[in-house]
Amino acid sequence: MKHTKKDFEERPWLKYYDEDDIPANIEYPDCSMVDMIMQSAEKWPDNVAYSYYGHKVTYKNFVKKIEQTARALKNYGVKEGDRVTICMPNTPEGITMVYAVNMVGAVCNMVHPLSSEKELEYYIKVSNSKYVLVFDAVFDKIYKLRDVAQLERIIVVRPSDGLGFLKQRMYKLLHVKKVKLPANDSRVVLWEDFIANSYFYQGNYHEERSGADLAMIMYSGGTTGAPKGVMLSNLNINAEAICDGAVIRQIKPGATVLSILPLFHCFGLGVCIHTPLCKGMGCILIPAFSHKQFANIITQNKPNFIVGVPTLFEALVGARLRRDDLKCVEAVICGGDALTTTLRDKVNEYLRAHGSSAKIRVGYGLTEGSGAVCLSPENAFADNIVGAPLPDMYIKIIKNDTFKEQPIGDEGEICISGPLVMMGYLGNDAETAQAIRVHPDGKVWLHTGDLGSLHDDGFIYFAQRLKRIIISSGYNIYPTHLESIINSHEAVLTSTVIGIDHPYKGQVPKAFIVLKPGYKPGKRIEREIRELLERNVPIYALPTAYEFRDKLPQTLVGKVAFKKLEAEEKNKN
């Protein structure tokens, strides 16, 4: 396609598109997520859709499982527009439920299984969800909410449910500590009984939905750190898959991707599950990642794609693999956090030394942008580069708190526009208005809260986050949210939480606390604060250290100088 001068002015990265034969614009189908999967099944019925500990399911059988699950949902009263909470790791039941919910015209409410009880209560209540699919290990937390959240049905999955019969028996004998379920509560149903009851429903279970319809709610801290439900449409998720397929040439039917990033994470669902399933690829489902097992995961599954966060690639370069063990790997993509130059070079060297010609590519995105928004080209390795926006996406760099575009090379807030921009925040018009704005050019722009620059090579470079955020093993932790909980303790005057370096996780939180007059630091108060946090935030967000001080350093305008605390911590190492 021939581009005009105006096209190149608006999207200078189009010269890279032309070099790599990438379409600048794509026509997207007006359909649901599950419709895309059914199209895959028609094209590649015998391809493997997913494997789970070696148990493989073809597209033809995957669609049958989706339809069976959809009938079960209808049998239990789920209607079009209802919200179904999915509190699961990457298991067959989890991904099957995502598409079954979509098939009946309901909405997936995706939550982290390690969320605290208070967070789960908020997620279920704010979404008005009456149905929950939950992994048995965290069933107790959900069951405690049955009355306060007015739950109608809790569907419980055991870890062995998605395995073949013999593997189920071995798994149950060797690995599973059985979770005791209530005997006489009709609201609780095991997965196998839930599915068995699907035969009682013989009516329509496939509702026609458009691309504009709400498909999914995922949770993000937005720009303030308080949890918000990000509303994503069918088009949002489908466009992610279609755009990924346009810019990654290795995406092809029959290839396999290591689906380690969790399905409740937008990058995990969009890039590691929906994209491959729309393209006839196979997802290798890994419900729990252990860096100690990474070598075994690679050698047993021989994936063509490895997609992960920097923590995963730290584990990769530490894995003991033979010379040709990575010969199968054709593409490697990192997202979720900034990739350091040192780690990038180590990964590329490790890939080459173990038989792969792939070089790591860096993605940039956010939940509000349906996952990945930018991807670096295969052979672009400048520091901090996140590459070119995906097709149909526009990115501009603006001066903070204005709509004014920055000159080429100057830093400013990254704003994005296009089919990947969320519908808005669930039940929060004020925050939506802050994040999504119409600019003088007439386009709708998402203000990301991230700093970056557009260079004369046509690529986007990431600088830092405007909002305070700690990224630990790819998960976002918001200091202001932790501080508000700590400050609610009766003995606390003020607090500040910062990220401190961790050799494996990247960063972990540390809390600095000033107590009110009359209170003295000690193990009792520290324990009470820790227990308060445990009730309100997920395990991965808990501070790893608490330090009590008489006062905290302040800026000239009287705010806590958290950057000074960060510098102090770095100087200790």
Q: Decide: residue 270, CB within 10 A, 0-12 exposed, 13-18 middle, 19+ buried.
A: buried
List the domains of the chain with CATH numbers.
5-22+359-465 (2.30.38.10), 33-288 (3.40.50.980), 470-572 (3.30.300.30)
Question: Which residues does 352 contact at the CB level (< 8 Å), separation at least 6?
Answer: none
In the numeric block, the tokens 């990058």 are attached to 267
Q: Could you give phi then psi for residue 59, rounded to 5 degrees?
A: -60, -40
Q: Is the pLDDT confidence value at 162 over 70?
A: no
Residue 196, pLDDT score:
95
Q: Is the pLDDT confidence value at 58 over 80?
A: yes
- Other CB atoms within 10 Å distance of the CB of residue 558: 6
pLDDT band at 171 (very low <50, low <70, confident <90, very high): very low
* Token reading at 36: 């895309």
Q: Is the pLDDT confidence value at 9 over 80?
A: no
Start-to-end Cα distance in the chain: 54
Cβ atoms of 498 and 569 within 8 Å: the answer is yes
Mean pLDDT along residues 315-335: 93
Residue 192, pLDDT score:
92
Q: What is the residue type of 559?
A: K
- Other CB atoms within 10 Å distance of the CB of residue 379: 7
Residue 573, pLDDT score:
66
Residue 1, pLDDT score:
56
Mean pLDDT along residues 432-439: 94
* Token reading at 47: 């391809």
Question: Which residues does 94 contact at the CB level (< 8 Å), separation at least 6?
Answer: 86, 88, 133, 157, 263
Residue 494, pLDDT score:
84
Residue 271 DSSP label: I
In the numeric block, the tokens 């279920």 are attached to 124
pLDDT band at 174 (very low <50, low <70, confident <90, very high): very low
Residue pLDDT, tens place only, 93-120: 999 999 999 999 999 999 999 888 888 9
Q: How far apart are CA 253 and CA 503, in angstroms?
A: 37
Mean pLDDT along residues 425-453: 93
pLDDT band at 175 (very low <50, low <70, confident <90, very high): very low
Q: How far apart are CA 98 and CA 265, in angstroms?
A: 13
Residue 568, pLDDT score:
85
pLDDT band at 318 (very low <50, low <70, confident <90, very high): confident
Q: Is the pLDDT confidence value at 166 over 50?
A: no
Q: What is the mean pLDDT of the chain?
A: 89
Question: Which residues does 301 contact at the CB level (< 8 Å), separation at least 6?
Answer: 51, 256, 258, 284
Most confident among 69-73, 222-226, 551-555 (mean pLDDT)? 69-73
pLDDT band at 540 (very low <50, low <70, confident <90, very high): confident
Most confident among 245-259, 282-296, 454-468 (mean pLDDT)? 245-259
pLDDT band at 128 (very low <50, low <70, confident <90, very high): very high
Residue 369 DSSP label: G
- Other CB atoms within 10 Å distance of the CB of residue 380: 17
Residue 369, pLDDT score:
95
Q: Is the pLDDT confidence value at 298 over 60?
A: yes
Residue 402, pLDDT score:
82
Q: Is the pLDDT confidence value at 198 over 50?
A: yes
Element (H, E) at 132: strand 131-135
- Other CB atoms within 10 Å distance of the CB of residue 179: 13
- Other CB atoms within 10 Å distance of the CB of residue 110: 28
Q: Is the pLDDT confidence value at 161 over 70?
A: no
Residue pLDDT, tens place only, 24-53: 999 999 999 999 999 999 999 999 999 999
**386: nearest Cα among 455, 312, 468:** 455
Q: Is the pLDDT confidence value at 168 over 70?
A: no
Alpha-carbon distances, residue 437 vs 329, 446, 535, 545, 546 (angstroms): 41, 7, 36, 39, 39
Lowest mean pLDDT among 197-201, 214-218, 553-557: 553-557
Lowest mean pLDDT among 266-275, 348-357, 362-371, 547-556: 547-556
Question: Which residues does 251 contact at the CB level (< 8 Å), separation at least 6?
Answer: 244, 245, 275, 276, 279, 281, 331
Residue 272, pLDDT score:
95
Q: How far apart are CA 185 and CA 188, in angstroms?
A: 6
Q: Is the pLDDT confidence value at 278 over 90?
A: yes
**391: nearest Cα among 418, 367, 429, 356:** 418
Residue pLDDT, tens place only, 76-96: 999 999 999 999 999 999 999
Cβ atoms of 352 and 380 within 8 Å: the answer is no
* Token reading at 108: 């997936």
Mean pLDDT along residues 458-485: 81
Mean pLDDT along residues 342-352: 92
Q: Is the pLDDT confidence value at 225 over 70?
A: no
Residue 163, pLDDT score:
58
CA angle 297, 302, 308 (to 5 degrees): 60
Q: Is the pLDDT confidence value at 441 over 80?
A: yes
Q: Is the pLDDT confidence value at 63 over 70?
A: yes
Residue 554 DSSP label: B
Q: Could you give phi then psi for residue 446, rounded to 5 degrees?
A: -95, 125
